[in-house]
Chain A
Amino acid sequence: MFNIEVTGEFVAFFVFAVIIISGAVLMVSFTKVVHMVISLAAVFLGLAGMFVLLEAEFVAFVQVLIYAGAVSILMVFGIMMTKHQAMQDEPKRPVHEALSAIAALCLFGILFYAIRITELSVPEQFQAGEDNTMEIGKLLYTGYVIPFELVSVLLTVAFIGAIVIAKKEAD
């Protein structure tokens, strides 16, 4: 039935998948905001693990650096300023919840069916660059140099904008 060879990669994939899925589920079901951020950080770490499995180490550790590190800390930092026992209480809406559950199940069914019937073309053996970090760098500065520069300008604009807004509020 399952013609799958149990290899280290397979086991690692399942471990990361469990981390990602349980993190995502817990993120929705926790009531304290800080707990939500922690489960979100777990999802980010699991994703980084998936990138490592795909031999994209650079993306994996940038994921850890930016998302699991910086973004999570920023969110915790923001939340810490608010009320300590902040709970998210929602009124119970049984009909609404039942309908959402059915819709979610249907979506899962459609996706699962679509994935099962699709004939995936066997890709030619993917050649991960010897040093894929170097390859990413070269591509960024040759083929994609204009988008790259545009994004950096956009980030600078956003950065300056944030400072201007903060200054205005301080005055």
Chain B
Amino acid sequence: MGDLLLEQLTWGNALIFFLSAVVLLMIVLGFVTYAIYFERKVIGWMQLRIGPNRVGPFGLLQTVADILKLLLKEDTIPRKADRALFILAPVLAYVPAFAVLAVIPYTDSLYFADLNVGLLYYVALSGITTLAIVLGGWASNNKYALLGGMRSAAQMISYEVPLVISIVGVVMLSGSLNLRTIVAEQGNWFWEWNFLPQIIGFVVFVIAAVSELNRTPFDLPEAESELVAGYHVEYSGFRFAFFMLTEYVYVYAIAALTTILFLGGWHAPAPFLDFVPGLLWFMLKFACIVFFLFWLRATFPRVRVDQLMGFGWKVLLPLAILNVFVTAAYIEFFIKR
């Protein structure tokens, strides 16, 4: 992929780029379908239930059936809603979610874009989705949707700050914003990966990431017991499906980003395990993080809105800043290139 990116752009190359984007889209859709199935199964088992088991063998086709149902549903737009924005919001939410996947490197040679500010690209584009969620909540002209949208804006802005600052430590250690360089800078033994030297940053990052994903215990924007469903109350059919899809594509993106930043990307945990291809190690780490997210959802209660804000600004932000200082001091005294 790397050599292809540097070649002159011809129609043939453009076709290859287009096709690889389509393939990635298919992979992501497949991931989302089975992530939802897996999530329901895992949470079912953790809560001593069985989970979906009726449609297809072991319920494997349950999500497919659900998606088909959503696509065939009548598409309703409330009469008093702001029609244009109501239609625009799901699109505006999904496009950045898919666009951020462009900079994720899967192995040393398998990546889609080699951007020297890859990390910044990810953070910047994911902010656009927040705008879309707020707009969707506002355009629905429904008080629950508006409240959900407001909460979402407040939460995502508050947690984006510690999220970005917690990454700064990693950037300082590897001296680059390029995600491929960040992986390459991490060592071959698992204790040389960033999650141990950057343990504070790692913890802050994971907490802030769960919050950015609007997942339990931080799923206040769609707290069903308080807000019916939050910002997407008025959405149905494929527009609702788009919001759900956005959420799960961000699960994919965050899991991949955590793997790259803190868990050594495609590196094997020990040099003698190198015979296993890097892509498999990447997928294994990726799957562990996805499982961790589902595990959190099954076992944690939802936090209150004032606790959420207080925690973000008074605990996570100082910790993230402290991490930057500690890393700077460490580099100054021990590494100093």
Do A and B come from the same complex? Answer: yes
Q: Which residues of A contact B127 (CB under 8 A)?
A: 64-65, 68-70, 73
Known A-B contacts A58-B120, A133-B177; A38 and B135 likewise in contact (beta carbons under 8 Å): yes
Residue of B nearest to A132 (CB): B116
In the bound complex, residues from chain B placing their C-beta under 8 Å from that of A57 are: 115-117, 121
Q: Is residue B68 contacting chain A, with contact meaning CB distance below 8 A?
A: no
Contact with B along A67-88 (1 / 0, CB 8 A): 0111011001100100010000
Question: Cβ of B85 and Cβ of A80 under 8 Å apart?
Answer: no
Provided the pairs A34-B135, A35-B84, A70-B157 are in contact, do residues A61 and B117 lie with their beta carbons within 8 angstroms? yes
Q: Are B85 and A38 in contact (CB under 8 A)?
A: yes
Contact with B along A23-53 (1 / 0, CB 8 A): 0000000001011001001000000000000
Q: Does A62 contact B (CB under 8 A)?
A: yes
Nearest chain B residue, comparing its CB with the CB of A48: B124
Report the Cα distance A77→B133, complex, angstroms: 11
Q: How far is the CB of B132 from chain A (nearest CB, A)?
A: 10
Stretch at the interface among B146-154, B220-228, B244-252, B303-311: B146-154
B121 touches A77 (CB 8 A): no
Which B residues between 117 and 143 are near A, CB-CB below 8 angstroms?
Answer: 117, 120-121, 123-125, 127-128, 130-131, 134-135, 138, 141
Q: Are A64 and B128 in contact (CB under 8 A)?
A: yes
Q: A25 → chain B, closest Cβ, in Å?
A: 16
The answer to the question of A143 belonging to the interface, with a C-beta cut-off of 8 Å to chain B, is no
Q: Which of B124, B141, B150, B153 has the most CB of A within 10 A?
A: B124
**When A and B form their complex, what is the total count of cross-chain residue pairs whose Cβ atoms lie within 8 Å?**
73
Chain A interfacial residues counted at CB < 8 A: 25
Write the nearest CB–CB distance from A140 to chain B, whole angstroms: 15
C-alpha gap A77/B115 in the complex (Å): 32
Q: Indicate which residue in B85, B123, B141 contacts A35 across the interface (CB closer than 8 Å).
A: B85
Q: Which of A32, A61, A132 has most chain B Cβ within 10 Å?
A: A61
The contact string, 1 if C-beta is below 8 Å from chain A, for chain B 135-178, is 10010010000100110011001000000000000000001110
Chain A residues with Cβ under 8 A from B39's Cβ? none
Least Cβ–Cβ distance between B281 and chain A, in angstroms: 28
Mark each residue of chain B from 238 to 257: 1 if its CB lies under 8 Å from any CB of chain A, else 0.
00000000000000000000
A131 touches B (CB below 8 Å): yes
- How near does chain A come to B331, taking the closest CB pair, in angstroms? 14
A30 to B9, CA, bound (A): 39
Does chain B have a CB within 8 A of A94? no
Enumerate chain A residues within 8 angstroms of B192, measured Cβ to Cβ: none
A131:B9 contact, CB within 8 angstroms: no
A61 in contact with B134 (CB, 8 Å): no
CB pair A41 B85 closer than 8 Å = no
Question: Are the CB atoms of B153 and A77 closer together than 8 Å?
Answer: yes
B135 touches which one: A8, A68, A76 (CB < 8 A)? A76
List residues of chain A with CB within 8 A of the CB of B85: 34-35, 38
**Interface status of B185 (Cβ within 8 A of chain A):** no
Please determine whether B134 and A73 come into contact, CB atoms closer than 8 angstroms: yes
Kindly list chain B residues whose C-beta atoms are within 8 Å of the C-beta of A61. 117, 120-121, 124
Select from chain A the residue with minimum beta-carbon distance to B139. Answer: A34
Query: Which chain A positions have C-beta within 8 A of B128?
Result: 64, 68-69
Interface assignment of B108: CB less than 8 Å from any CB of chain A: no
Whether the pair A80, B84 counts as a contact (CB closer than 8 A) is: no
Q: Are A69 and B134 in contact (CB under 8 A)?
A: no
Given contacts A38-B85, A73-B157, whether A65 and B134 have CB atoms under 8 Å apart is: no
Which B residues touch A65, using CB under 8 A?
120, 123-124, 127
Q: Which residue of chain B has its CB nearest to the CB of A64?
A: B124
B125 A77 Cβ-Cβ under 8 A: no
Contact B124 A76 (CB under 8 A): no
Q: Which residues of B contact A77 (CB under 8 A)?
A: 134, 150, 153-154
- The CA of A74 and the CA of B12, in the complex, are separated in Å by 43
User: Contacts of A73 on B, CB cut-off 8 Å?
Assistant: 127, 130-131, 134, 153, 157
Return 16 A-B CB contacts under 8 Å, by A number: A34-B135, A34-B138, A35-B85, A58-B120, A61-B124, A62-B124, A68-B128, A68-B131, A70-B127, A72-B131, A73-B130, A73-B131, A73-B134, A76-B138, A77-B150, A80-B150
Residues of B within 8 A of A (CB): 9, 82, 84-85, 88, 115-117, 120-121, 123-125, 127-128, 130-131, 134-135, 138, 141, 146, 149-150, 153-154, 157, 175-177
The 9 closest A-B pairs by CB, nearest first: A69-B127, A65-B124, A64-B124, A61-B124, A61-B120, A57-B117, A61-B121, A76-B134, A77-B153
